[in-house]
Amino acid sequence: MQVFKFGGASVKDANGVKNLVTVLQKMGFKNTLIVVSAMGKTTNALEMVIANYFDKKNELQSSLQDVKKFHNAILLDLFENEQHPSFKRVNSLFEELSLFLETNKSPDYNFVYDQVIGYGELVSTIIISEYLNEVDLKNNWLDVREFIKTDNYYRSAHVNWDITQQQILNKFDKGILNITQGFLGSDSNNFTTTLGREGSDYTAAIFAYCLNAESVTIWKDVPGILNADPRYFENAQLLNKISYREAIELAFYGASVIHPKTLQPLQRKEIPLFVKSFLEPENKGTKVCKEAGLDPQIPCFIVKKNQVLISLSSLDFSYIVEDNLSDIFKLLHLYKMKVDVIQNSAISFSVCVDNMYQNLNPLLQHLKAKFKVTCNEKVSLYTIRHYNQAAISQIEKDKEVLLKQLTQETMQIVTK
Ligand code: ASP
Ligand code: MG
């Protein structure tokens, strides 16, 4: 068994769908499960629909219409003839969605969100399944909600592994080409749930785990996992091999590699994960597996822009120790600050945080009651895994370094 995951960018238009076929033809599709996300930016577009629905905006119908038109154009490109059954199938999904919006009585945003957002994946997999049949890649369309069972923590549901494993064992036919939706699951009342934005990789890992798959491949628009984000660093290099642990570390420091949630089930069964380019499927890409820390052994760079560095010292020169620290952390938690780095000395304490929820001002007010506070906004946090002097110099060049911290494998630098 192999599991292939195709994200929204890989199927953003008819050419993407055709390219998916090319990938399958080149790489083989025996005993394969394909997990697919919503096409292009559909999930964002459906988020607009949901917002319009709750805000009772007049744009509700037009935003819904945009989503329909986008898919209709792809259908026309792929099938030309509007009599093709795929048009009807897609249309009836959209009718189902409209009916839901007309009749829904629940005021619960998260619940409604999941019921609506799931249509992105349902529609994309119907279109792709139909197209695969059209080009004679006979396949079996699965409603993932019959397999992945979760609690009802809408928008970030937790998998019920026992029932999910049971459902997959009982209902999944390994001998054929299967296609299903990423991101979705269902609760015990069969309402749609979702696993969190960008959750399709996780879906692939859940199936791989339950099916004891040989491998998972995530098809991307980059050649694999790089040692730096090419948007911010020149000369980003491809990593050939990287251990689960290293990948989890990189993700922890903010690299948009692979979510740790995705890696955990794979790591438990030692199922290798490949990240490859859907444009160059024969290239090796990156293999994430148990062995090998990192190959090649080069520094990896992660940058988080727009962070906040807060430095505190006691008003009366008393030490900053356990009781102060516990107060500080309570406040950081209260204001939902994601802590990136901390550094402390006898009478001062610095923390670099991600102000994700725009709570900086109330936090500072609160802190100022007890401490002398200085705050630097819009700083950048650089993390270098497996640093060397050249890597450090490259980061520090032309920048004002506000804080620097190193452990054996990791260096963190906050710059202005
Ligand atoms: N379509 C969902 C999203 O954009 C899930 C995914 O792409 O993984 O978040
Ligand atoms: Mg997506």
**Closest Cα partner for 36 from 17, 57, 15, 59?**
17
In this structure, what CATH number is given to the domain that contains residue 101?
A: 3.40.1160.10
Dihedral sign of CA atoms 386, 390, 396, 398 in order: negative
In a domain, 33, yes or no: yes
What is the distance in A from the centroid of ligand 2 to the CA of 39? 7
pLDDT value of residue 356:
84
Q: Which of 199, 221, 243 is the last residue of a domain?
A: 221
In a domain, 145, yes or no: yes
Q: Whose CA is nearest to atom 2 of ligand 1?
A: 198
Are residue 36 and residue 134 in the same domain, yes or no? yes
Q: Which of 193, 221, 249 is the last residue of a domain?
A: 221
**Closest Cα partner for 117 from 197, 9, 56?**
197
**Closest Cα partner for 207 from 172, 177, 240, 231?**
172
What is the distance in A from the centroid of ligand 2 to the CA of 229? 19
Q: Which residues line ligand 1 (CB under 6 A)?
A: 7-8, 37-38, 43, 120, 182-183, 197-200
**Alpha carbons within 13 A on the beta-carbon side of 367:** 28
In a domain, 343, yes or no: yes
Residue 167 in contact with residue 203, Cβ under 8 Å?
Answer: no
In a domain, 245, yes or no: no
Are residue 411 and residue 308 in the same domain, yes or no? yes
Q: How many domains does the chain have?
A: 2
Residue 263 in contact with residue 273, Cβ under 8 Å?
Answer: yes
Q: Which helix (H) or strand (E) holds 80?
A: none
In this structure, what CATH number is given to the domain that contains residue 372?
A: 3.30.2130.10
In a domain, 227, yes or no: no
pLDDT value of residue 240:
97
Are residue 204 and residue 315 in the same domain, yes or no? no
Whole-angstrom distance, CA of residue 38 vs CA of residue 224: 21
- pTM here is 0.91
What is the distance in A from the centroid of ligand 2 to the CA of 36? 9
Beta carbons within 10 angstroms of residue 7's beta carbon:
22
What is the distance in A from the centroid of ligand 2 to the CA of 43? 6
User: Per-residue pLDDT tens for 14-58?
Assistant: 999 999 999 999 999 999 999 999 999 999 999 999 999 999 989
In a domain, 174, yes or no: yes
Q: Which of 187, 221, 255 is the last residue of a domain?
A: 221
Are residue 126 and residue 216 in the same domain, yes or no? yes
In a domain, 38, yes or no: yes
User: Per-residue pLDDT tens for 315-374?
Assistant: 888 888 888 899 999 999 999 999 999 998 888 999 999 988 889 999 999 999 999 999
pLDDT value of residue 316:
87
Residue 328: C-alpha distances to residues 292, 300, 348 (Å): 39, 31, 12
Which atom of ligand 1 has the smallest separation from the CA of 198?
8
pLDDT value of residue 365:
96
Mutate to test the pocket of ligand 1, among 200, 256, 261, 262 (most ligand atoms within 8 A of CB): 200
Are residue 156 and residue 16 in the same domain, yes or no? yes
**Closest Cα partner for 7 from 37, 35, 32?**
37
User: Per-residue pLDDT tens for 189-206?
Assistant: 999 999 999 999 999 999
Mutate to test the pocket of ligand 1, among 36, 50, 124, 198 (most ligand atoms within 8 A of CB): 198
Residue 408: CB partners within 8 Å, gap ≥ 6?
A: none
What is the distance in A from the centroid of ligand 2 to the CA of 327? 39
In a domain, 61, yes or no: yes
The side-by-side arrangement of strands in the sheet containing 410-415 is 338-344, 348-354, 300-314, 371-385, 410-415, 401-406
Beta carbons within 10 angstroms of residue 205's beta carbon:
29
User: Which bound ligand lies closest to the C-alpha atom of 197?
Assistant: 1
Residue 42 in contact with residue 125, Cβ under 8 Å?
Answer: no
Are residue 306 and residue 397 in the same domain, yes or no? yes
Q: Which helix (H) or strand (E) holds 228?
A: none
Are residue 85 and residue 210 in the same domain, yes or no? yes
What is the distance in A from the centroid of ligand 1 to the CA of 316? 51
Mutate to test the pocket of ligand 1, among 4, 34, 39, 43 (most ligand atoms within 8 A of CB): 43
pLDDT value of residue 349:
94
Residues of the chain under the 70 pLDDT cut? none
Residue 236 in contact with residue 224, Cβ under 8 Å?
Answer: no
**What are 295's two structure tokens?**
């190959």
Are residue 49 and residue 173 in the same domain, yes or no? yes
What is the distance in A from the centroid of ligand 2 to the CA of 214? 25
Domain enclosing residue 13, as ranges: 2-221
User: Which bound ligand lies closest to the C-alpha atom of 123?
Assistant: 1
What is the distance in A from the centroid of ligand 1 to the CA of 296? 30
Beta carbons within 10 angstroms of residue 315's beta carbon:
11
pLDDT value of residue 265:
97
For tokens 């005021």, name the residue. 107
User: Which bound ligand lies closest to the C-alpha atom of 47?
Assistant: 1
Whole-angstrom distance, CA of residue 306 vs CA of residue 304: 7
**What are 324's two structure tokens?**
């102060």
The CA-to-CA distance between both ends of the chain, in Å, stands at: 49
Which atom of ligand 1 has the smallest separation from the CA of 199?
8
